[in-house]
């Protein structure tokens, strides 16, 4: 009984407060925070105006995947931190300073993925894909995260898509992956330059590293600060340095192709021969080493044509990672992959003013005048849609002028207009937007009539 009473009292109080205009007296005071939350530094919204680029690239990706027999995989964006420290390498910039890592409430150390190859390999092992017919060909697309210093055009969340071929060591696959990646850029209208190198296997690379370190030691005094450190931590990355004084030293450095073992040399020669067969031009680039630890043998990048001097402008990169599956606890299995930077590709498309198709065109705009007409147009719209006609509308607008303006912007062929007069007569107007003429149709036959006209175009 007292419960009910309390309820009633509360209601009365609320009513009083409402009258007095002071609801705060009863409820928790509503804190007004006028400041709108902002984007986190290094992140951005991909607005509708940008979406056509993503759609365009996504469509090309899907069609390439089908042409070359790849199946899609969607690993999660969150993984155990150890996956990346083991796969990508502890000493790489990516793992040592660019990962978004944190502890979950359950105490797991996790990271937002900085790249997706490690996840694909983990999934390949986890789901026993080693037992499927090999090679297993997978592709992915989605956001990646790196805590880099935000600079123009680079964000801490960015998009990549990639192709991975697991379970086969044949060099024809290396060549075909390069062909596929190059086809992607050609088909979206970008001219490219393929850069290729081999970084050998664990055996011959060890020998080469010794030679490289010996050479660089003689030049130590002239190296940049970073390279002095690379000399001991990650000597292959010495070849990657963008500092001018280091580039000069690089010119005379020993080249890994001269140190490849017979097996690695054979593999590389065959890859190049296959590329020659399809007459795909490439540039043998001795300083191409890629930033990640897991690569073996073939490595490659595709650069925009004419930007060969600025190697940081790579549109995509990839190579073999024959040891990675074993490194992550699987049976020794050769594999290779490529990943494409989507934002960088878009930037290039914009720079070159390459025209991107807009959304699919609409055929018919449905315009209405007055509430009664609106009530008839809503189901008409549904019927036209179900008949496979590409329709457009703006039902919340009242004025005909405003509606026809939208129709004009959409570039529709015809507009259907339902006003008071047509409503009472059981008709509807069909306006030819190009010719500017209109005719009266029987409302009940409108779908048939519209279809007939669209077919006769």
The distance of closest approach from Cβ of residue 258 to Zn ion in the complex, given in angstroms and rounded to an integer, is 12
The secondary structure of 229-246 as a DSSP string is: HHHHH-GGGGGG---HHH
Question: β-strands 282-284, 192-198: how paired?
Answer: parallel
Among residues 65, 246, 316, 380, the one that binds Zn ion under rule CB under 5 A: 246
Q: Is 356 in the site for Zn ion (CB under 5 A)?
A: no
Q: Is 123 in the site for Zn ion (CB under 5 A)?
A: no
Nearest residue (CB) to Zn ion, 137 versus 230: 230
Q: Is 429 in the site for Zn ion (CB under 5 A)?
A: no
Q: Is 264 in the site for Zn ion (CB under 5 A)?
A: yes
Directed axis angle between helix 446-455 and helix 371-386, to 10°? Answer: 50
Name the one range near Zn ion by CB under 5 A: 117-125, 204-212, 335-343, 352-360: 204-212
Q: Is 243 in the site for Zn ion (CB under 5 A)?
A: yes
Q: Is 200 in the site for Zn ion (CB under 5 A)?
A: yes
Q: Is 201 in the site for Zn ion (CB under 5 A)?
A: yes
> Mapping DSSP to helix (H, G, I), strand (E, B) and coil, where does residue 157 land?
strand
Name the one range near Zn ion by CB under 5 A: 237-245, 284-292, 404-412, 421-429: 237-245
Widest Cα–Cα separation across the chain:
95
Question: Positive or negative CA dihedral for 48, 53, 56, 60?
Answer: negative
For residue 426, give both structure tokens: 């059981």
The distance of closest approach from Cβ of residue 241 to Zn ion in the complex, given in angstroms and rounded to an integer, is 3
For residue 444, give both structure tokens: 């009940």
Nearest residue (CB) to Zn ion, 298 versus 339: 298
The distance of closest approach from Cβ of residue 295 to Zn ion in the complex, given in angstroms and rounded to an integer, is 13
For residue 311, give both structure tokens: 């190697």
Nearest residue (CB) to Zn ion, 271 versus 366: 271
Nearest residue (CB) to Zn ion, 224 versus 354: 224
Among residues 227, 236, 369, 416, the one that binds Zn ion under rule CB under 5 A: 227
The distance of closest approach from Cβ of residue 332 to Zn ion in the complex, given in angstroms and rounded to an integer, is 15
The distance of closest approach from Cβ of residue 227 to Zn ion in the complex, given in angstroms and rounded to an integer, is 3
Q: Report d(CA 36, CA 47) in Å as an integer.
A: 18
Q: Report d(CA 220, CA 236) in Å as an integer.
A: 15
For residue 285, give both structure tokens: 């680039």
Name the one range near Zn ion by CB under 5 A: 238-246, 269-277, 337-345, 414-422: 238-246
Question: Which is nearest to 337 in space by CA: 140, 66, 142?
Answer: 140
Burial of 418 (0-12, 13-18, 19+ CB in 10 A): buried
The distance of closest approach from Cβ of residue 268 to Zn ion in the complex, given in angstroms and rounded to an integer, is 10
Nearest residue (CB) to Zn ion, 59 versus 214: 214
Nearest residue (CB) to Zn ion, 243 versus 307: 243
Question: Which is nearest to 140 in space by CA: 69, 87, 78, 62?
Answer: 62
In 299-456, alpha helices (H): 324-327, 342-351, 371-386, 400-410, 420-425, 446-455
- Neighbouring CB atoms inside 10 A of 45's CB total 7
Name the one range near Zn ion by CB under 5 A: 178-186, 243-251, 320-328, 374-382: 243-251
CA distances, 241 to each of 25, 214, 308 (Å): 66, 17, 15
Q: Is 224 in the site for Zn ion (CB under 5 A)?
A: yes
Q: Report d(CA 421, CA 440) in Å as an integer.
A: 11
Nearest residue (CB) to Zn ion, 244 versus 371: 244
Q: Is 256 in the site for Zn ion (CB under 5 A)?
A: no
CB contact set of 410 (below 8 Å; sequence gap of 6+):
361, 362, 365, 392
Q: Is 204 in the site for Zn ion (CB under 5 A)?
A: yes
Nearest residue (CB) to Zn ion, 242 versus 350: 242
For residue 395, give both structure tokens: 């039902």
> Binding marks (x or -) toward Zn ion, 137..176, rule CB under 5 A?
----------------------------------------
Name the one range near Zn ion by CB under 5 A: 106-114, 142-150, 187-195, 260-268: 260-268
Q: What is the separation, in whole angstroms, between the first and last Cα of the chain?
A: 76
Residues binding Zn ion: number (CB under 5 A): 10
The residues of the shown chain that bind Zn ion, judged by CB under 5 A, are 200-201, 204, 224, 227, 241, 243, 246, 261, 264
């Amino acid at each position: 009984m007292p419960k009910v009473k309390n309820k009633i009292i509360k209601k009365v109080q609320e009513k009083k407060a409402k009258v007095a205009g002071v609801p705060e007296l009863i409820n928790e005071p509503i804190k007004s925070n006028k400041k709108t939350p902002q984007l986190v530094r290094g992140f951005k919204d991909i607005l509708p105006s940008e979406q056509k680029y993503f759609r365009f690239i996504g469509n090309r990706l899907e069609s390439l995947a089908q042409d070359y027999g790849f199946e899609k995989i969607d690993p999660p964006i969150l993984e155990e931190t150890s996956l990346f420290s083991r796969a990508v390498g502890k000493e790489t910039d990516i793992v040592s300073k660019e990962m978004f890592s944190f502890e979950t409430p359950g105490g797991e150390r996790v990271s937002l993925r900085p790249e997706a190859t490690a996840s694909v390999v983990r999934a390949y092992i986890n789901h026993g894909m080693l037992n499927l017919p090999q090679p297993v060909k997978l592709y992915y697309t989605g956001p990646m995260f790196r805590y880099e210093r935000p600079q123009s055009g680079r964000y801490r969340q960015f998009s990549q898509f990639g192709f991975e071929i697991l379970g086969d060591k044949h060099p024809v696959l290396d060549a075909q992956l390069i062909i596929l990646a190059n086809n992607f850029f050609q088909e979206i209208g970008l001219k490219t330059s393929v850069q290729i190198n081999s970084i050998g296997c664990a055996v011959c690379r060890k020998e080469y590293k010794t030679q490289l370190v010996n050479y660089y030691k003689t030049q130590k005094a002239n190296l940049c600060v970073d390279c002095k450190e690379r000399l001991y931590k990650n000597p292959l990355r010495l070849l990657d340095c963008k500092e001018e004084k280091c580039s000069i030293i690089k010119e005379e450095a020993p080249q890994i192709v001269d140190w490849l073992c017979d097996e690695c040399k054979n593999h590389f020669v065959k890859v190049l021969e296959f590329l020659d067969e399809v007459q795909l031009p490439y540039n043998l680039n001795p300083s191409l080493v890629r930033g990640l630890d897991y690569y073996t043998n073939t490595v490659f990048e595709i650069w925009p044509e004419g930007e060969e001097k600025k190697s940081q402008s790579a549109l995509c990169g990839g190579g073999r990672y024959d040891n990675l599956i074993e490194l992550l606890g699987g049976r020794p299995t050769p594999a290779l992959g490529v990943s494409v930077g989507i934002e960088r590709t878009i930037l290039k498309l914009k720079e070159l003013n390459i025209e991107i198709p807009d959304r699919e065109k609409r055929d018919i705009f449905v315009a209405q005048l007055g509430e009664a007409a609106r009530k008839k147009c809503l189901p008409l719209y549904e019927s036209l849609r179900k008949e496979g006609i590409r329709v457009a509308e703006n039902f919340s607008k009242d004025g005909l002028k405003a509606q026809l303006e939208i129709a004009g912007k959409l570039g529709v062929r015809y507009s259907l207009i339902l006003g008071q007069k047509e409503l009472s007569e059981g008709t509807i107007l069909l306006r030819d937007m190009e010719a500017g003429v209109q005719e009266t149709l029987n409302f009940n036959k409108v779908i048939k009539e519209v279809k007939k006209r669209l077919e006769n175009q």
